[in-house]
Amino acid sequence: MVSLSNHAREVAWKALKAPEATLGELFAADPGRVDTLSARFELAAEGLGGGVLFDWSKTHLTENLLAGFEALAEAAGFAEQRRKLFAGEVVNGSENRAAEHTALRGVGKEASVEEAAALRERMRLLVGAIHEGALGEVNHLIHIGIGGSALGPALAVDALARDLARVDVHVVSNIDGVALEEAFAACDPATTLVAVASKTFTTIETMTNAASALRWLEENGVDDPYGRVIALTAYPEKAVEWGVDETRVLPFAESVGGRYSLWSSIGFPVALAIGWEDFEAMLAGAAAMDAHFRDTDGRANLCLRAAFADLLYARLKGAETRAVFAYDERLRLLPSYLQQLEMESNGKSVTVDGEPAGPTAPITWGGVGTDAQHAVFQLLHQGTHLVPVEFVASVAPGDALDPAHHRILLQNCFAQGAALMTGRDSDKPACVYPGNRPSATILLDDLDAATFGALIAFHEHRTFANAVLMGINPFDQFGVELGKEIAKSIDKGGGSFDASTEALLEAAGLG
């Protein structure tokens, strides 16, 4: 039986119609289209520097569609779900949990904000002690985690630390020993710390890698390997039981999901690399986006407007993928980060009521410009697939070389969006560019800590908004469990599997 809320949502969905006009026709009909569908998000008012331009004018959004999506948001109870998110109420119904990542940034339920501040102070003191030499000389950190415990820190360190890192950070997530050996080769064990990041402190990949890191320290003359370990977990008692001194355990709240945990003690390697002042600036930038998302309604809400465009293509136009291209080497890991955020959150097939859902999350993929132009843009321009594209770039360069480098980079970024939209005719069929291919552009004034924080929070809230409009739960991830269970049964032996799996086990000597 379909619930009343689902019925209202479906009625609103059926009222939405994708426009038949091309992008060129939409621009010709509305000289003010750029002003209508682009907006700046200012951080200067928060004392955090510049801002971000969000331009969705090269999408097929129209006034009618915006109004229709606003009606959908009302039918879906978006305002109430958003209130619950920030109030720390249950928004993950299948697991009866809140999702309190915004509290880590100071925006949310008062008690949760206060708890997060206390835990953050504990981390600040430890980071300060390490920087001041209380743990001896520390030049390297091997950060061991997987999923959200690795993707967020890896992205943030790569984006913000680079040559300015106070401590050289190596993030290891893969159980493949090659990854860990590469980190060992780059580090001096005498001046290396190991951070073990696991919400439950039971994740098999993480704990196996952690045990190997301890052996590496011991085999290379470190007298007290456990004394070189920092534990980042929501279950501190398990870390202490494993052998970590309680003074080296940095907890975070159980109500914080893994892919939203960068802002918690999982961000320890980021703070260690960039320093506490910049880590707090990152949190402040995210908090500024939190406030915008919480306090702004309808199409003026940048995160909600982005979700409108996402759903226009995924639901109304049948696009099965969404491509993200960072025209900034410092954001080369952004597509990988967004893959987990978007596909683990919204890769669902049922609504919160257990009813079959329509098309949900598209496949997120992407790369780095200008490399991607010489690899995948052929398909984007002339292929048969509809692929909404998102460009991310910074006005300020991240290098000190000849300004020509950055000028050419930005010129290419903007040219690709223009070419996707306008296309080109030719008397040679192979040289025709159909055009009318959508893109959005996120243009940062600069890639500093605060702007980075705002960018990531924008995507978090955009993902949540998509989920509410589709009526699905973005905070559970049961889809990752079955494969883990089968792997454990293989390890224990005695199980029976399909003929193909049995043959592979035999071929690998695991049968």
Q: Are 447 and 394 in contact (CB under 8 A)?
A: yes
Q: Which of 484, 488, 502, 506 is catalytic?
A: 484
**Does the annotation count 17 as an active-site position?**
no
Helix (H) or strand (E) holding 449: helix 449-470
Widest CA span in the chain: 75
CB 332 within 8 A of CB 79: no
Task: Say what angle helices 302-311 and 63-75 make with each other, to 10 degrees.
Answer: 100
Residue 480's closest CA among 141, 86, 163, 146? 146
Least Cα distance to 388 among 464, 303, 321 occurs for 321
CB 165 within 8 Å of CB 157 = yes
DSSP string, 71-112: HHHHHTTHHHHHHHHHHT---BTTTTB---TGGGGT-S-HHH
Q: Is 117 helix (H, G, I), strand (E, B) or coil?
A: helix
How far is the C-alpha of 58 from the C-alpha of 439, rounded, in Å? 5
- Residues 187/193, Cβ–Cβ less than 8 Å: no
Closest CA to 167 of 177, 157, 153, 154: 157
Q: Compute the distance between CA of residue 65 and CA of residue 310 in angstroms, rounded to an integer.
A: 12
Q: How many CA atoms lie within 13 A of 414 on its CB side?
A: 9
Active site includes 317?
no
> How many C-beta atoms lie closer than 10 Å to residue 374's C-beta?
9
Q: Which residues, other chains included, contact 399 with Cβ-Cβ below 8 Å and sequence gap of 6+?
A: 405, 406
* Catalytic member of 14, 110, 374, 485: 374
Catalytic residue among 344, 381, 406, 460: 344
Residue 325 · residue 389 · CB < 8 Å = yes
Contacts of 7 (CB under 8 A, 6+ apart): none
Closest CA relative to residue 445, chosen from 32, 49, 31, 21: 49
Contact 478, 322 (CB under 8 A): no
d(CA 351, CA 359): 11
Three-state SS for 407?
A: helix
Point out the residues that are catalytic.
Answer: 344, 374, 484
